[in-house]
Amino acid sequence: MKNKYSIFSLIKNAFSYHENWGKAWKDPVPKKEYDAVIIGGGGHGLATAYYLAKKHNMKNIAVVEKGWIGGGNTGRNTTIIRSNYLWDASAGLYDHALKLWEGLSQEINYNVMFSQRGVMNLAHNLQDIRDLKRRTHANRLNGIDAVYLSTEEVKKFCPIINTSPNIRYPVLGGTLQRRAGTARHDAVAWGYARGADEMGVDIIQNCEVKGIKRNGDEVEGIETTKGFIKTKKVGVVAAGHSSVLANMAGLRLPLESKPLQALVSEPVKPIIDTVVMSNAVHAYVSQSDKGELVIGAGTDDYVSYSQKGSHDIVEGTLNAILELYPIFSRMRMLRQWGGIVDICPDASPIISKTTVKGLYFNCGWGTGGFKATPGSGDLFAHTIANDEPHKLNAAFNLNRFVSGDLVDEHGAAAVAH
Amino acid sequence: MFLITCPFCGEREQSEFKAGGEAHIIRPKQPTELSDDEWAEYLFMRKNIKGVQLERWNHANGCRKWFNAVRDTNNDEIKAIYKMGEKPPSI
Amino acid sequence: MLKNLRVKTSKFIDETTNVSFKFNGKTYYGFKGDTLASALLSNDVHLVGRSFKYHRPRGIMTAGSEEPNAIVQTNDNSAFTEPNVRATEIEIYDGLEASSQNCWPNVDFDIGGINNFLSPLLPAGFYYKTFMWPASFWEKYEYVIRHSAGLGKSPTEPDPDIYDHRYIHCDVLVIGAGITGIMAAKTAAKNNLKTLLLDEKTELGGSTIYQNSDFIKINDQSTSTWLENEITELEKLDNLEIKTRTSVAAYHGYNYLLARENLTDHLSKDDAKNKVRQRLLKIRAKKVIVATGSLERPMVFNNNDRPGIMLSSAIKKYADYYGVATGQKNIFFTNNDTAYESAISLSNKGIKVEAIVDIRENSNSEFTKEAENLGIKIYKNHTVVDTHGYKKLNKISIMELSKDGQSFTNSNKTILDCDCLGMAGGWTPAVHLFTQSGGKLKFRDQDQVFIPNKYPSDQISIGSCNGDFELDEIIKNTSKSLREFLNINQTDFDNLDTKCPKDKIVRNIWLLPSDEVIGKTKPFVDYQNDATANDIKLALREGFRSIEHVKRYTTTGMGTDQGKLGNMHALGIIADTTGIKVGELGTTTFRPPYTPLTFGTMVGRNVGEYFDAFRRTPMNDWHIENKAEFENVGQWKRAWYYPKNDETMHDAVQRESKAARDGAGILDASTLGKIDIQGTDASEFLNRVYTNAWSKLAIGKCRYGLMLNEDGMVYDDGVTTRLDENHYIMTTTTGGAANVLSKLEDYLQTEWPELDVYLSSVTDHYATASVCGPNSKKILNKIIPDLDLSDENFPHMSFKNAKIDNIKCRVMRISFTGEHTYEINVQANFGKSLWEMCMEAGEEFKITPYGTETMHLLRAEKGFIIVGQDTDGTMTPIDLQMDWIVSKKKYDFIGKRSLYRSDTMKEDRKQLVGLITDNPSEVLEEGAQIVANTNATPVEMLGHVTSSYYSPNLNKSIALAVVRGGKNMMGQKLIIAMENKNINVTIVDPVFFDKENVRLNA
């Protein structure tokens, strides 16, 4: 293994003033042909390549990325990881990912700082209570750790929440998944990239896909700004731009791409030691290792690729934050930004074959894809390698929109993120 | 936050409006005669265009009228507004 | 030893008003008009804080919002305290308390300073490479990392201050009131345009207002004198609003800008009391003129961060504006003429300037000549290679640069005594707002600056933020730009006589060489985050090529100063290392806000009870008077139950439920959505939106309807009444009212414009009292004696117009409880009277008010669903065993087609059933999961409990549930799998009570 990372290698390199560290990944010129090409160098795409090489022994593969790896939603999200989903299919998918998170730093020898500080979801009305209890019971029976908390227990776990009964939407209870938490988003992309690169995967940045070439019902290759690349298998993992790529292949997807915004405060000493999410009072917050409060806002309702959302959404989010945490009023917003999220009608992802042989899509993660990164990559790799979904992603096929067998995490009142 | 010119009320903040998604997806007159695939196409499949898109908007916090807009989804620039039932202007 | 370094009276400082303040617990004095930074400097306090990672001692570097180092915690009150406040921005007032951050036990002796010695182990991204063993230890490592990171401390009590919002629409917004901003505002306002001028500083005039150089003149006056006169004239103009202490935070599309106006932060606590602290201005401007100026660049060299090392322009401002000498042995270090300008200004005030170290080989402007004349020693072609002094600069080492600027001509090192080093690394146009708005930049090679290239909206940039740095070109270009932009023939500034030094030479070296091994040096690029040039080179070495990657890997530019000082150097160092030109690298995105904004300002008044609107029914006061507990349903506050004496909720609900069936009950049903539907096609419209048929509903009759989404799932339900041939009133669920109306309007306007139908929301127009129970008829008879209440005249599911004391009302005989029920609707303002009248008439029948909880219980006894509780967006009417309401004959209705898809037609979908527990007193938990077999793992879940109550009328526990294939499982035993026990249940018909509906007519 090249350049294994550890405290010892750090000390060793300190003596040479860190001038001997090698490249985390190369910068290759694309080959003429690959056994498979992954479009999209975000966390999911890089993880897909990593597992294709690692578990399916596909080494002659490439990841093509329009900009720089991890520059899309991977580097823009609020890094929440949890698996307490309602439906069996979702629970299976996200808990598979969570289990991979638990050993990921060691697996890829890159500290992704997965911090199991717990995720709380708050209830603010009687239906929230019913929904959260329903979900907690389902989680428990699916082997996912989750407990229901009374208002007092919520307060005890996170003392800074305003649990006064006199606020506009009082906290009536909540759930806690202790195995849930946060991770360092950039590290996930970089770590998988380094791991994939080491196994021979070509990571090609600044390479935009301009067309997907079909021969009848089969994929032949892709046109890129760095020339034509021949391949029989194309996995598209392009988040907000999935529809754009689908259109290149003459397909339509049940997706809408919308702005999602987030913001961080200036860094402060530790003040909140868990992740708290509220669906009814739309606010979720955690604190990064650096000390910034990391706050997720909602989506706008219109399609946009501008990576900008409306100010009202951000303002509304901060309204909610101050409702639940009035002590944060004097904290300052340091940065705000937007991403483009592709949302399915049932708020569940698509990890699926398509009607075109050799063309696979992994998309529709909406506002919550980061948490699934390792699982999504693993299952998508399986689907591409075997031309057949794994049982854990079988439900997330494209045909569900025809049959009506949706995985409705939306309507089922699971939280949106 | 962009500005939208409601054809009935004039220029207003986007936050007064509700987006209605892709325009000109006509509800089939005889849904029961469609195949499951065709019905799914109507129900769920969207062009989700990156670029100039024809889309529906509702002046929800205003006159409640629906109308269509031509908008560039790359930068949210609204190129034209036209009423329901009218043909899209050529842009 | 306290020194007073005040050198000269300044008109911007009120030296007659002493202000006392505390810093790190010690009392100091300054003058009114001082910032904390200028006051500290006047007391010879340079050590102000510690850096983020290495905890290195840091001082005051700038005099503005770009300050990376001097950030402090103000106020030690747990509610008022504020972290990360820039000492350069806060104006002192009597009683101000501030302290250093990120140090323990104190700024003088900080344990964290050990990190500086460990720094060889802490290069960029070190944390990605370690802390991985043992795997379970990350959280322990993280605990330490988290506690050593962070800067100041969050308040721990709610903020007592008030914040506000204001909307401003103007013709022209001018951002920045420096010389060009003043020119722009005056020109716009004089041309009859409604103009708004904003500046983040206390005074107008930018740096020109204290510019008295003999070498820079306008119309033979000093520039400050000239500008003062302009400002005096400006302030007389009518259609101009000027706001100082107002910082533009964000520039969004369509010329929408957000600015923060600081109103009380410069006042003492007493003076600030009850006043708005900060106001967010939401500005829509037809035209925007950006005149944000430029920021001076530091120089990147070894140990360029010690207290006493400052920007040359800041030293000048402290001397000229605040009258404070920042040092007694001043040296400037420069690559351009700015430092000479500052040095001359200092010398003229009697502040000693020892030397100027200039990396240029020559420079012959009037400034350099004057500096030489003043006897300042000039080291041309020299660079600072190191600095000395741990907590305060005391020496610098300089060496002579080689031709290429990357090494030295010889190994001679000169050591100079120095307590204040002014860095003058050139200027960076403040293009942050321009790029936030979507503007594209271009790179100007000659002086290595990014300047605006393509404007995305109706805006211009003028002055130094547009890359004009010399007075003559500033005046000339600004007046030309203004003429074009405002479409006018002339400005007051077209023929000014300007004088300024020419022939300025710049030599730019992004990373200055050191005689030390580079790995041992600390040339800081981002001071606050302790990112050095070495970190940037390490990132590049490891394959991070994009500027965004380098930024994220090294954290350059991610501090609270958003990299205002160092971002250009980061780009320059990347360019030098990779051989790619700066202009081709592109910049990182400048994300809003320009300077951090308090959450309080963003939120304004929308806190506490104003967080979200309350909707209350006309009967609300009665509910309060009668001690009701309330439930939030959407925005509504609904009476939940009415505890008597010390009743528990359970007892109250049992009592209310029994009373409603045994005698009479009354419910405030005003919150149900009500939509008035009129038009000749109203019946056809209902046919299309509901699953059942409506054409044949007789006038005066009511019908229950179920509305689906187009995907076949139940969306809403309610009773609709035919008031007249072409007139219906539809009721919806409380929470769904707005969405239903919106959905109906959508279909009506876009799919079926041919239908003659008009919809109006009348939810708020009517108040509704629902009187139920065996005595309801008698009560109604007392209220409306002339209404024939016989079953023949007024049967179940019918409606009558009536009058109560001349007040029109609509009475529907409909029932959600299974009891004989009348719903009386009156104009909303009579709601409370109606309610009281019912209570009075019902007194002899023991009428009992009941809330939503009892309503839920009573309807569950009857097996009536609540949309949103018993359904979740995945239930079809067939799943609800409500096949009877789905018309087979109708050609189409919303959602019909979706009911015939392969999945929606499956037999084993989850279906609504009733459950009874083996132990009749055991009440199930709503949300509990239902299983057949608990032995398998994972346990297969068949469904869940949607509604569950103890029925006082049946004396047993009842529940509604959805169960996979439940329709065909009547009588089967299942298990409710709780955490610590299993509860045995039996599937039964969901109608528990009065299956024959005899009570409806009782």
For C672-682, the pLDDT digits (tens) are 999 999 999 99
Same domain, C514 and C491: no
Find chains touching chain C: ≥3 CB pairs under 8 Å.
A, B
CB-closest option in C253, C749, C896 to B32: C896
Q: What is the pLDDT of residue C63?
A: 97
> Quick check: is C433 in a domain?
yes
In this predicted structure, the answer to whether residue C272 has a pLDDT above a threshold of 60 is yes
B45 touches chain C (CB under 8 A): no
Domain of residue C176: give its range. 162-294+429-499
Give the Å distances, CA to CA, from A249 to A219, A230, A244, A257: 9, 15, 9, 18
Return all residues near A259 (Cβ < 8 A) that are at least 6 apart: A299, A300, A302, A304, A306, A307, A308, A309, A310, A313, A338, A339, A340, A341
Q: Is A95 helix (H, G, I), strand (E, B) or coil?
A: helix
Q: Is the pLDDT at A142 greater than 60, yes or no? A: yes
**Is B44 within a domain?**
yes
Instruction: Write the single-letter amino acid at C13.
Output: I
Smallest Cα distance from B9 to chain C, Å: 17
Cβ burial of C164 (10 Å; 0-12, 13-18, 19+) is middle
H or E stretch including C180?
helix C179-190
Distance CA B51, CA B76 (A): 9
* C-alpha dist (Å) from residue B54 to B57, B65, C359, C750: 10, 17, 58, 14
Retrieve residue A184's tokens. 């360092």
Helix (H, G, I), strand (E, B) or coil at A140: helix
Q: Is C125 found in the same domain as C9?
A: yes
Query: Looking at C477, C499, C521, which one is the last position of a domain?
Result: C499
Domain boundary (C574, C601, C628) is at C601
Give the pLDDT mean for C780-805: 96
**Mean model confidence pLDDT for chain C:** 95
The predicted structure's pLDDT at residue A2: 61
pLDDT tops 50 at residue A414 = no
DSSP codes of every residue in C966-996: GGG-TT-EEEEE-SS-EEEEEEE-S--S-TT
For chain A, the maximum distance between any two Cα atoms, rounded to a whole number of angstroms, is 66
C698 vs A403: CA distance, rounded Å: 39
CB C874 within 8 A of CB A347: no
Strand order in the sheet with C665-668: C798-804, C807-813, C821-827, C766-772, C665-668, C848-849
Q: Give A141's pLDDT tier (boundaries 50, 70, 90).
A: very high
Q: What is the CATH number of the domain that holds B23?
A: 3.30.2270.10
**What pLDDT band is residue C6 in, cutting at 50, 70 and 90?**
confident
Chain segment A306-344, per-residue pLDDT in tens: 999 999 999 999 999 999 999 999 999 999 999 999 999
Task: Please state, in angstroms and rounded to a whole number, the distance separating the CA atoms of residues A296 and A316.
Answer: 11
Together in a domain, C110 and C207: no
C817 shares its domain with C743: yes
Kindly report the backbone phi and psi dihedral angles of residue A415, in degrees, each rounded to the nearest multiple of 5, phi listed first.
-65, 155
Residue C433 belongs to what H/E stretch?
Answer: helix C432-436
**pLDDT category of residue C8 using cuts at 50, 70 and 90:** low
Is residue C366 over pLDDT 50?
A: yes
DSSP, collapsed to helix, strand or coil, labels residue A18 as: coil
Q: Residue written as tokens 């339509």?
A: A252
pLDDT tens for residues C342-361?
999 999 999 999 999 999 99
Contact yes or no for C706/C689 (Cβ under 8 A): no
Q: Is the dihedral of CA C93, C94, C95, C97 positive or negative?
A: positive
Domain membership flag for residue C307: yes
Can you give the pTM of this predicted structure?
Answer: 0.96
User: Which of left, alpha, beta for C897 (phi over 0: left; psi -120 to 50: alpha)?
Assistant: alpha
pLDDT attached to residue A282: 85
CA atoms within 13 A on the CB side of A190: 27
- Tell whether the model's pLDDT for residue A411 goes beyond 80: no
Residues in Cβ contact with C118 at an 8 Å cutoff, skipping those fewer than 6 apart: none
Q: Which of B81-85, C559-563, C768-772, C956-960 has the lowest mean pLDDT?
A: C559-563
Task: Report DSSP state, residue A300.
Answer: -
Would you state the structure tokens that stand for residue C288, as one six-digit string? 């925007």
Is C477 found in the same domain as C379?
no
Structural domain contains residue B78: yes
Whether B91 is in a domain gets the answer no
Q: Residues near C799 by Cβ (< 8 Å), separated by ≥ 6? A: C700, C701, C702, C721, C722, C723, C810, C811, C812, C813
Average pLDDT estimate for A225-250: 97
Residue C538 exposed, middle or buried by CB count within 10 Å (0-12, 13-18, 19+): buried
pLDDT band at C4 (very low <50, low <70, confident <90, very high): low
Claim to verify: residue C786 and residue C829 sit in the same structural domain: yes
Q: For chains A and B, what is the number of CB pairs under 8 angstroms? A: 72
Separation between Cα atoms, residue A179 and residue A176, nearest integer Å = 9
Strands (E), A33-102: 33-34, 36-39, 61-64, 80-81
What is the percentage of chain C residues whose pLDDT exceeds 70? Answer: 99
**Residue B89 maps to a domain:** no
**Nearest Cβ partner of C713 from A10, A335, A411?**
A411
Chain C hits for A71, CB-CB cut-off 8 Å, are 546, 548
Rounded to whole angstroms, the Cα distance separating A291 from A324 reads 19
Would you say residue C756 has pLDDT above 60? Answer: yes
In this complex, which chains have at least 3 CB pairs below 8 Å with chain B?
A, C
How far apart CA B22 and CA B8 sit, in angstroms, is 21
Contact A413 C872 (CB under 8 A): yes
Residue from C437, C741, C750 to probe the interface with B (highest B Cβ count within 10 Å): C750
Model confidence at C1, in pLDDT bands (50, 70, 90)?
very low
d(CA A282, CA A319): 9
Is B65 at the interface with chain C, CB within 8 A?
Answer: yes
Number of domains in chain B: 1
CB C43 within 8 A of CB C325: no
Question: Cα separation of A293 and A375, whole Å?
Answer: 27
The count of domains in chain C is: 5
* Contact criterion met (CB below 8 Å) for C879 and C961: no
B24-41 average pLDDT score: 95
- Interface A-C: count of C-beta contacts within 8 A: 319
What is the Cα–Cα distance from C930 to C914, expressed in whole angstroms? 12
- Among C66, C11, C69, residue whose Cα is nearest residue C40: C69
CA end-to-end span of chain A, whole Å?
37
Cβ separation C742–B3 shorter than 8 A: no
**Chains contacting A (3 or more CB pairs within 8 Å):** B, C
Residue C648 lies in a domain: no
Please name the amino acid found at residue C55: H
pLDDT tens for residues C456-503?
Answer: 999 999 999 999 999 999 999 999 999 999 999 999 999 999 999 876
End-to-end CA distance of chain B: 23
Element (H, E) at A285: strand A283-287
* Domain endpoint, select from C469, C499, C529: C499
Whole-number pLDDT of residue A3:
76
Domain membership of residue B74 (yes or no) is yes
Please answer whether residues C847 and C665 qualify as being in contact, where contact means their C-beta atoms are separated by less than 8 angstroms.
yes
Mean pLDDT of A100-121: 97
Beta strands, E only, C547-613 = 597-598
Interchain contact, C896 vs B60, CB within 8 Å: no
Query: Residue C387: which H helix or E strand, with range?
Result: strand C382-388
At CA C954, angle to CA C949 and CA C959, rounded to 5?
30
pLDDT at A412 over 80: no
- Considering only CB atoms, B19 lies closest to which of A255, A301, A308, namely A301
**Closest by Cβ to B58, choosing from C711, C746, C900:** C746
Within this chain, do residues C136 and C9 fall inside the same structural domain, yes or no? yes
The half-sphere exposure of C288 on its side-chain side, counting CA atoms within 13 A, is: 29
pLDDT at A410 (0 to 100): 73
Q: Could you tell me the two tokens for C989? A: 């018909």
Alpha-carbon span C720 to C695, nearest angstrom: 12
For residues C506 and A73, which has the higher predicted lDDT (pLDDT)?
A73
Closest-CA residue to C246 (of C30, C95, C98, C89) = C89
C-alpha distances in angstroms, C405 versus C80, C409, C444?
50, 10, 21
Q: Show the beta-strand stretches assigned E in C798-940.
A: 798-804, 807-813, 821-827, 848-849, 910-917, 929-931
pLDDT at A293: 98
Q: Are residues C333 and C289 in the same domain?
A: no
Q: What is the pLDDT of residues C308-324, one digit of tens each?
A: 999 999 999 999 999 99
Q: Do B66 and C745 touch (CB under 8 A)?
A: yes
Any idea what the CATH number is for the domain that residue C251 is in? 3.50.50.60
Phi, psi of C554 (to 5 degrees): -100, -10
pLDDT tens digit string along A251-288?
A: 999 999 999 999 999 999 999 999 999 988 888 999 99
**What is the rounded CA–CA span in Å between residue C893 and residue C852?**
31
Domain range for B62 is: 3-83
Supply the DSSP symbol for C749. Answer: I
In this prediction, residue C240 carries a pLDDT of: 97
Contacts of A333 (CB under 8 A, 6+ apart): A263, A264, A265, A318, C593, C596, C597, C598, C599, C602
Chain centroid to CA C683: 47
C904 contacts on B by Cβ (under 8 Å): none
Q: Determine the distance in angstroms separating the CA of C438 from the nearest CA of chain B, rounded to an integer.
A: 9
**C47/C134 same-domain check:** yes
Which chain C positions have a beta carbon within 8 Å of B66's beta carbon?
745-746, 749-750
C521 and C540 inside one domain: yes
Task: Mark whether C213 and C311 lie in a shared domain.
Answer: no
